[in-house]
Amino acid sequence: MILVVKIVSVVGRGKIAYQLYLHLLKEKPIEDFPLHVEKYETVDMFVNNHIKAPQVVLYVAEDYRDEQEVIVNVEKLLSVRKTMVILVSPHYNLNLATSAIDRGVFDVINAEDEQTLKSVINLALHAQEVKRGYVEISDLPEEDFPDDMFIGRSEAVMSVYRAVGRVSMSDVPVLITGDTGSGKELVARTIHKRSPFKNGPFVAVNCSAIPETLLESELFGYRRGAFTGAVEDRQGKIEAAAGGTLFLDEIAELSPKLQVKLLRVIQEKEFERLGENVKRKVNARILAATNRNLEDEISQGNFREDLYYRLNVATIHVPPLRERKDDIPILLAHFFKKAVRELHRPVKGITARAVEKMLSYHWPGNVRELINVIYRAVLIARGEYIMAEDIILNPSYKINLNEGPRIKRLWELEKEHIQRVLDYTGGNKSLAARLLGISRPCLTQKIKRYGIVVNKKRLKV
C-alpha cells in the first residue's frame, strides 16, 4: 500500500504565519490523507530546503506594501516544480493581487478570511492530485506541426496520408468525406501543399455558411449592373483560385441550380460571371468535402448523380477522432502548447487523470471539440496544472453547421458568464466571486480586463 501525504508549507516569519502554521497542525486529514505541515521563515529557506514533493505553499506577505519584493518572492516560489502558491496578505491590495495572479499564483486571500482561506487550501490540495501525478509541458510530445496540417501518427491517419500521396500530383477532383470537425479542410490543405498547384492560392468556400442568394455571386463573380447593388465588376472564388485550389466545403448544401453550374465548371473547365456572356477558363483544381452520404442524398433527389461521379474521381475518408484515439496525446500536446501561448496563461501541465478523462471520451465533435475543450481548460485552470475537473465534456455535444464564423471565442463566453453572475448578484463582487469559484481579486482583474459594466440592481429570478 502506498501512503499518500498532502503537504502544506507556510512561508513567513511574522505572527500571522506562525498562527496559520499552528492552525494547520490541528487540521484533520484531507480526504482521508494525512496532512503534513512545514514552516519556513523565508522564501529562500523554502527554495533551498523544501521537501521534494508536490505541495501547497502559503506565502504570508505581512509586509505587503513592498509589492516589488512580494512579487520577486512569488516568482521564486513558483519556480519550484509541482508547487502551488497561495498568497496570504493581511490587507486587500488590488495591484498586488492582480500581479500575483498574472504570474500564476493559485489564489490571493485575506488573512482574516479564515473560511475562504480554508476552502482555497482544500481546493489547492485537491488540485495537486498527488496520487495521479502530472504531465508537464516538457513531457508532452515534441513534434511541432504547422497549424494547417492534418495532425496524427496513428494507422488511420497514415492511411489518409497515403491516400493524399496518391492523389496530390494529379489535377483530378477529390471528394473528402468525414464527420463534422474531423479535419476535412486540413486534408484539403495538405493535398494542395503537395500538389503542382502549391504555389497558387488555396481558396476555401463553406457552402453551408453563405446564403443561397449570395453563394452564386460569391462563386462566379458578377459584372457591374448584374443586380441591384452590383456597382462594380467583382471576381468570384472560382476565378480567385486561378493557378491554385478551390475547396468547396459542405458541397451537399448546394442548390440544384448551383449544382448544374458547378457540373459545367468541372466538365467544360469554363464559367461565366453573373450578368455577362463572356466565357472564362477555369484554371484551378477543385476539391470538395461533405459530412453527408451523397449516395443517400442522390436517392432522395437532393444531389445530382452526374455531379457526384465528377467529384468522386478520387475519395478520401477522414476518420472520426473516436477511431484514432492514439492521436489524442499528440493533438493534446500541440493544441495545449498553442492555447497556453495564445491565452497567456501560466499553465505548466496537465494531470494524468485529466488525460485519462480525455482518452475515455468518445468525442462526437471530433478534433474541433477537442480543441474547444483544451482552450476552455487552459482558460479556467486554477494554478499551474489542468485538473480533471477543468476538462468539461458534453455528452450531448452537437455542432450547428450554420454557425461557421459566428462561433464565439472563449474569452467572449467567459465575459458573458461573468456579466450574468454580476447582474444576478446586483454588482456584489464578493458574492459573484464565490458563485464563480474564484477569488475577489481575480474577479476584479477580469472585470478590468474585459471592460465589464457592474450594475448595482439585482436581477429577479
Comparing 91 with 299, the larger pLDDT belongs to 299
Q: Cβ distance 197 to 243 under 8 Å?
A: yes
Query: Is pLDDT of 3 > 70?
Result: no
C-alpha distances in angstroms, 355 versus 55, 215, 360, 363, 375? Answer: 21, 42, 9, 14, 14
Comparing 397 with 262, the larger pLDDT belongs to 262
pLDDT digits (tens, 9 = 90+) for 373-427: 999 999 888 778 888 888 988 744 443 434 444 455 667 778 888 888 887 777 8
* Span 408-461 CATH architecture: Orthogonal Bundle (1.10)
pLDDT digits (tens, 9 = 90+) for 326-358: 888 888 888 888 898 888 888 888 887 888 889
CB hemisphere CA count around 440 (13 angstroms): 14
* Span 324-406 CATH architecture: Orthogonal Bundle (1.10)
Mean pLDDT of the chain: 81
C-alpha cell at 231: 456597382
Q: Write out the CATH class of domain 6-131.
A: alpha beta
Mean pLDDT value of segment 126-154: 59
In whole angstroms, give the CA distance from residue 305 to residue 295.
8
Q: What pLDDT is attached to residue 272?
A: 87
State the Cα torsion 188-190-194-197 to the nearest 10°: 40
* Span 155-321 CATH architecture: 3-Layer(aba) Sandwich (3.40)
3-state DSSP percent of the chain in helix, strand and coil, to 5? 45, 15, 40
Phi and psi (nearest 5°) for 144?
-115, 110
Mean pLDDT value of segment 164-170: 88
Q: What pLDDT is attached to residue 288?
A: 96
Q: What is the DSSP-derived secondary structure letter of residue 319?
A: P
Mean pLDDT value of segment 236-257: 92
Mean pLDDT value of segment 286-303: 93
First CA to last CA distance, the chain: 51
Q: What pLDDT is attached to residue 354?
A: 86
Q: What pLDDT is attached to residue 126?
A: 64
Within this chain, domains 6-131 and 408-461 share the same CATH topology: no
Please report, for the chain, the start and end positions of each structural domain, with discontinuous segments joined by +: 6-131, 155-321, 324-406, 408-461
User: Of 5-19, 37-51, 300-314, where does mean pLDDT reach its minimum?
Assistant: 5-19
